[in-house]
Structure 1
Amino acid sequence: MTVKAKKRNPLQPPDRTYLALGLEGSANKLGAGIIQHAQDGSTSVLSNIRHTYITPPGEGFQPRDTALHHRQWAMTVIQEAVEKSGVSMRDLDCICYTKGPGMGAPLQSVALVARTLSLLYDKPLVGVNHCVGHIEMGRQITGAQNPVVLYVSGGNTQVIAYSRQCYRIFGETLDIAVGNCLDRFARVINLSNDPSPGYNIEQEAKKGKRLVPLPYATKGMDVSLSGILTSIEAYTQDKRFRPHGAPEGDPEDIITPQDLCFSLQETVFSMLVEITERAMAHIGSKEVLCVGGVGCNERLQEMMGIMAAERGGRVFATDERFCIDNGIMIAQAGLLAHRMGHETPLQDSTCTQRFRTDEVHVAWRA
């Protein structure tokens, strides 16, 4: 639940300078960032600090251990963000935190920190939808006006477009997210989790030469990825598979981990390009904005760029500073909502693991 103040015109510049602290911790990245909306209409990133919980190769991250990491690092990350920004906690207009979606225990740990800071410094809280945070930061950094949004991350895969103060979901995954699919396969072939398994799959895919057959599972505007993951895992049990590319036998009969990474990316990204193109055709848009951790994958951006160029359009994307989960995106979306008069009462500052993108009232857009 939110409390609304008097209605403001979202097209008007701020009546003064606003500052917000954003706290993100929905998965294994803990982020804190401070953003400024100036009276001249400009937006400045004053700080954007992040610390990642990294597990050994072959292992994922568990909610309990991730939450412990966030509690241990929260004060260090926030203090660094405040010091780098050059402002004090008392200068802030609001404290924004990720309400969801995400993993329950890490979300709760960060929400607890946000509530504590709110009480200590008597600042209003703003609960933020993680997905909307990605979209608003992407729009701010790239300058995209009204794009079709491809939101791809470890926990989410959605094709989104804005209409009537709501981000409408045109298509999504029916089972696992694309980032989760890539991460789980990285564990199968024992890739490092540093800096992220998806990034390491991207680097391995660049060395791949063979495209192995995989299911192509688009279902209308939705995609299904669990069957593809099962199929790609089965290749690691094939007699032709060489975990380290050993040159035994005829090279034409060898399947390497690099080939599998290449094949997985090409197949899954083709599916994402297809449903994104359909959404562009439906709403008549010539802009695509890629957000989320997988959104900074260069091959995905390249494939999406080819499609957009054929339609006379273009692709917008950011680098890892803003694509991968971070505190500044939560600060941006939270401050936009705060300027429209929204705040989250302390008694309602809970977390929602399944907080859908289309449940948010996007009051700051005309």
Structure 2
Amino acid sequence: MTSTSPAPTPAPPTGRRPASARRRALGLVVCVVALVVACLLSVSFGSRVVGWSDVVAGLLHPDPDDIAQAAVASRVPRTVLGLLVGAALGLAGAVMQGLTRNPLADPGILGVSFGASLFVVVGIAWFGLSTLTGYVWVAFAGAGATMALVYAVGSAGRGGATPLKLALAGAAVTAAVSSMISMVLLTRTDVLNTFRFWQVGSLGRADTSAILTILPFLLVGGVLAVAVARGLDALALGDDLATGLGQHTGTVRALGALAAVLLSGAAVAVAGPIAFIGLVMPHLARGFTGPSHRWVLPYAALFGGVLLVGADVLGRVVARPQELEVGIMTALLGAPVLIAIVRRSKVREL
């Protein structure tokens, strides 16, 4: 005779989240603290170093007759803009990598930033654009047109839009668009002085009106990016499996592409084509969170804000009393981080 032991009684639910979720939430808190520290350093350091008492006074009730407090107040828009642009580029890069399943996808490598740049330089040269509002709309048009072109070229032929084909299409379109930009600038040298400071990537033109101009586009783009997070997780499994899980892949791609265009277009219009943030920050985020886009997106946004604000502070400190543009500093900081990530993870596709 054989006897069967009763099945073990399942443990009652404890009502606590898994430890991994708690660690991720704690990591977000640490990122927020790091971002606050970077913002405080940004309003403190520049051509003039400001003490903490003047920082507090300049933030709460600045005295316009006090030079130190006036310096703090003047740095606040620049700091806020750096935070917004860095977060936007980090989000845009994460969304693009999720949509294409390509670890090299970002607004720069896929040509989106260069497409926006081309439309802006054409607007300056031939249509007399000189305001941020004009830059924003033509940058959106250039970003959207370039993204559509890259995807059309990368999806042609057998196999559809594979990560390798998209990367090659992005490289080809980027080379072509860069040549067009050079052609316009060579024929219109009067535009060169206006364009060259914008092209390198800078936060030096930050003011409240610039922030208010791009803020609605960034908010809409951020909401769309969060809305497609689960769809991006499904796309990572392949289109057939994503459809089987109830995801409308066409809708996910359309909303994700719109989010990426809004985020990258607004960021490029106000600060120029800043490199490496959209490429590196999603990889850095996945190292802490894993592949789930519910966590990758906020981490990438926070990392992007910290890196861009921190790079802007370093650019003001290392060349004092002058400054290095933030686009130069992000390239210097981002390239070693990207090399380290690639050597450690050896990621081929998402």
TM-score by length of 2: 0.28
Determine which structure has more spread, i.e. the larger CA radius of gyration: 2
Higher strand share: 1
